[in-house]
Amino acid sequence: MLQFLGRGSAFSDEHNSAFFIEDNELVLIDCPATSYQKVKKMNWEQYDNIYILITHTHGDHSGGVGTMLQYVWFVSYMKKKVTVVTPSEAVKEDLLLLLMRVEGCEKEWFNIVTADELDKKWLISAIPTSHVEPLEGKCFGYHLKVNGIDVVYTGDTATLEPFIPLLKKGSYFYTEAAYHKSNVHIYLKDSLPEFLKLAEKGVSVYLMHLDVEEEIIKMIDGTQLELAELYENSEV
């Protein structure tokens, strides 16, 4: 299922980012700078296409996108382009401003489309959610079908409401979980009963975007909940 290049929150050493491989295509979910460094060490040249799904434009989720675009374009001798997938037109406009006006990327280095424009069997839809006020209406999760398995990925969110109706027995649910309470992230202490109910119903629940991993491990010890699986480089 999903493998994670990092599962930490904004101030962690390794920021949250996942990937999967299907039909010889590499699909990243978000691309912070810490993930770019790991993708460099993967055998990425073997894949026919590379996609980056963007959840929102906070730096710990999109800070490595520009460098990734340049790296793939030039290291492949201008034979490969990353396709950036934004969850909405508004996020697309913001990301283009960042990539082209701030980071100096050029149009020929990459493709960029919205989730609605992308026709891939692994992408069902982008899911609007709430996270922080300055990015209101511009934060999303994703509903995916990864190698035939139903996957729901929250991204950064302050609520589980958009995601719970999508979950069913056999679903894989990747949800953020915070040890510290705030009004912009899922507070694990409050959400733990809901996660346990989902697990009892046959949903595989994986926690990501962790702020204090060692404490979260203690909180889920003895339950069916798991931490998101970290990627170990073995020539993927």
Taking alpha carbons only, the member of 23, 55, 27, 48 closest to residue 39 is 27
Over residues 176-200, mean pLDDT: 98
pLDDT at 155 over 60: yes
pLDDT at 235 over 60: no
Kindly give, in sequence order, each residue whose CB lies less than 8 Å from that of residue 201, ignoring residues fewer than 6 positions away: 167, 169
pLDDT at 234 over 70: no
Tokens of 114: 């919205």
**What pLDDT is stored for residue 236 in this prediction?**
53
In angstroms, the CA 95 to CA 165 distance is 29
Name the average pLDDT for the chain: 96
pLDDT at 16 over 70: yes
**What pLDDT is stored for residue 233 in this prediction?**
73
In angstroms, the CA 65 to CA 133 distance is 23
Please provide residue 120's backbone torsions phi and psi, each rounded to the nearest 5 degrees: -135, 140
CA dihedral 197, 199, 204, 207 (to 10 degrees): 60
Whether 25 contacts 47, CB under 8 Å: yes
pLDDT tens digits, residue range 75-111? 999 999 999 999 999 999 999 999 999 999 999 999 9
In angstroms, the CA 151 to CA 230 distance is 17
Q: What angle do CA 207, 211, 212 make, to 5 degrees?
A: 95
- pTM score of the predicted model: 0.96
Tokens of 2: 């999903």
**What pLDDT is stored for residue 179 in this prediction?**
98
CATH domain 3-227 topology: Metallo-beta-lactamase; Chain A (3.60.15)
Share of the chain above pLDDT 90, in %: 96
